Every structure is written in structure tokens, then in C-alpha cells.
Amino acid sequence: MPVPTGTKFGNLVVMEEVERSGYNRRFKCLCDCGSETIKFLGNLRLGRSKSCATNSGCPYWMDHTGTGRAAIIAKRRAVSQETAKGRICLTCDTWKTWSSFSSDKRRSSGKASNCMDCGRWRGIEARYGMSRIEWLRLWASQHESCALCREPQGKRRLSIDHNHECCGEDRACPNCIRGMLCDGCNRMVGLVERKPETRKRFADYLDARPLLDQ
């Protein structure tokens, strides 16, 4: 979803969106100290990025070295109720066992701060610009079934289908999302979409009489 210019996160004001890093959206921001910096949208929304944090001259800069970082880690562990068995997910605010978290060597615990389920929804929002509520609304509007074959969703979740002419194959926006398809229908649409001239020919071929009957 779009983030208007001028939106403020802590001491940062959004200036413009810049090139993504993988599926992660990034924005150029202006810190209240006058410095410009690039921040990930996820970190801005979660309150992890509140200032430029690029130099000690910034009055909003936080020391992340020595005892300062140790104090920050201790505070985070207290808030997340981290134990040997699990912790609270920063996104859904639910305590879960470590099996619900993916590995992350950058963390002192060796696990990500967000559970895998929330990580999946963050990925969907980054790639398709859809929130979890919007995804569930679209899913319910299709009666939890494939938009083409009408078969109910099985063990695998339905895939989001979009017009590749709008944002390309790897990205999508609310303007080009067409619906949700099962794996079989999604592959079929992908093959036909690459060759528009075969669309009508495809239907005519299926309706044609067997060659041996002619």
C-alpha cells in the first residue's frame, strides 16, 4: 500500500520510495537532525527505525555498542518474554515456541523476531501490496475456492494471480491483481498469458471433434 510523502515515523519523515531490496520496500527519509537516510518500511512501521542512527552527532542517535547494546538486548528479551522454549512474536504479539520461528544468525537467540506465519504475511504485503485483511477478504469473496476451476482450497494455499503486463512477473499491485488460483490453474493461465494469440485457439482446440472421427 502507498506511503504518502510526509508520513512521520518517530524522528523520520518519508521523502520518497527508492529501489527495493529483494521483496522489502525502502524509503528515503529525512531525520529531524537534518540527515537523509534509507530505511526499510517494515522497520519504520514496527518502530525499529526512529532516527537516522548514522552518526553520534544526531541528537536522536542511540548507542548500540558495548553496555548500551547489552542493555537493549536485555530489554528486548524482557519485553518478548524470551525463554529457552520460545518468545513473543513482535508482529502478532503472541507467545510461541521456537519451532514457529525461522533461523536468523544475526540474532543473539539464533531465531527471527517474527514467527514464520507473520513472516509470510509480510512477504505477501511486500510482493503484492496486500495486507492480511485484504487477502482474507479476497479469499472469502471466492468462497475459499479457485477463481477458475471453483475447486476448494486444499492443503496448499491459493496463489495470487495478477496481470504481468502491469508490474511484471515478480511484483504486483492492487490494480493488477485478478484473483486467487490453484496451482494447476495458475500454471495454465501463465502459459496462455505469455502467448495471447493462443487464447481463442486453446478454446477452439478443446471443443474440436477428435481427429480420428473425421
| Residue with more model confidence, 157 or 177 | 177
**Residue 74 to residue 79: CA distance in whole angstroms:** 9
Quote the pLDDT of residue 63. 44
Q: What is the CATH number of domain 129-207?
A: 3.40.1800.10
121 class by beta-carbon count within 10 Å (0-12 exposed, 13-18 middle, 19+ buried): middle
Quote the pLDDT of residue 27. 94
pLDDT in tens, 121-149: 888 888 888 888 888 898 899 988 999 88
Residue 201 parent element (H or E)? helix 198-207
All structural domains of the chain with their residue ranges: 8-45, 76-127, 129-207
pLDDT in tens, 43-89: 888 877 888 865 555 666 654 444 445 555 666 666 678 888 888 88
**Residue 73 to residue 82: CA distance in whole angstroms:** 11
Task: Report if pTM > 0.85.
Answer: no
Question: In whole numbers, what is the pLDDT of the chain averaged over residues?
Answer: 81
Quote the pLDDT of residue 77. 66
**Residue 132 to residue 127: CA distance in whole angstroms:** 13
**Residue 142 to residue 26: CA distance in whole angstroms:** 32
Give the DSSP per-residue string, 168-198.
-SS---TTTEEEEE-HHHHHHHHHHHH-TTH
**Residue 26 to residue 15: CA distance in whole angstroms:** 11
For the segment 28-36, the average pLDDT, to the nearest whole number, is 87
Dihedral (CA of 158, 164, 168, 171) sign: negative
Q: What is the CATH number of domain 76-127?
A: 3.30.60
Quote the pLDDT of residue 97. 92
